[in-house]
Structure 1
């Protein structure tokens, strides 16, 4: 596991600093126990009315048919590095509440909770997870058999053990490092929003 290069401005659990999203992965498959643990963490994510609106279509093991099918939904740039990750998945949000059939405008927010649960569980297992916006939504519906009227394609995710940055395409090697964050003061507004002058 990579030692963190990040310095917090206030006390925070180390898991938030140590978790990051690399692009270099080792291709060896995850164990059944690791897969079960990652998906169990998603199961326990909070959601509006406990509706749990996430749907996951995944491929496991580079070179397998299911892995190639999910990987094919990524844009070429992301395919260039994510092909080595043993687990690739597309996360979808169910558009309507299962109980009432009413539109669920909170589904994307809830899927973000499920993603973070997976990411932190990956970290706890000594793995890394990298979420991506760069995928072909239309292809995700047709290739993976998910009905677009019922689900919104939210993100693609790669998971595995951090690999050797030297195995990445040349332009990506220098970017294989932890990123910083804006200070909390830049997004906090007590009592009322007050844009900076």
Structure 2
């Protein structure tokens, strides 16, 4: 069979339905819902109850909510923002041929509702940056590794750059691929609790 050409992100000949809705275009990410455990809720209640957010309460009698886990790729970052802007432009160009109106202006609030709306990605309250390879802590600046930049303007970001610093110094003179293999590790429970403690004392100033 002849090779199949790759799909194009944008085409002038792309068919548009008269009933096309911009909200049907989804940001590419996978959502997992994890059933809550009552014991787990009691364990983290002391860590998040002091967060300085108005009208936020957590009691033992409240029904525990499921944990929602989003799995994202780099396609959900800047490429998704560009794709969303093209979708809005296509819809506006289609509507402008049917209705006579003033020049279209896309506001920040409208674009925000498109990215964070029904089919979008909600902004996170807290982010933990945990490099898999601690030996690279002091060799490169902190990176978000393609995380969507639009949703994190009010996110509390935590990164412990002094983790295993004494071990990382011993690996400075080794090749990067060797030292990274020796010091690679996942996020531990102690580090996760430490991050939650810092998040519990954070003050959120949303402005006017």
TM-score by length of 1: 0.26
| Larger-Rg structure | 2
What TM-score, normalized to structure 2? 0.25
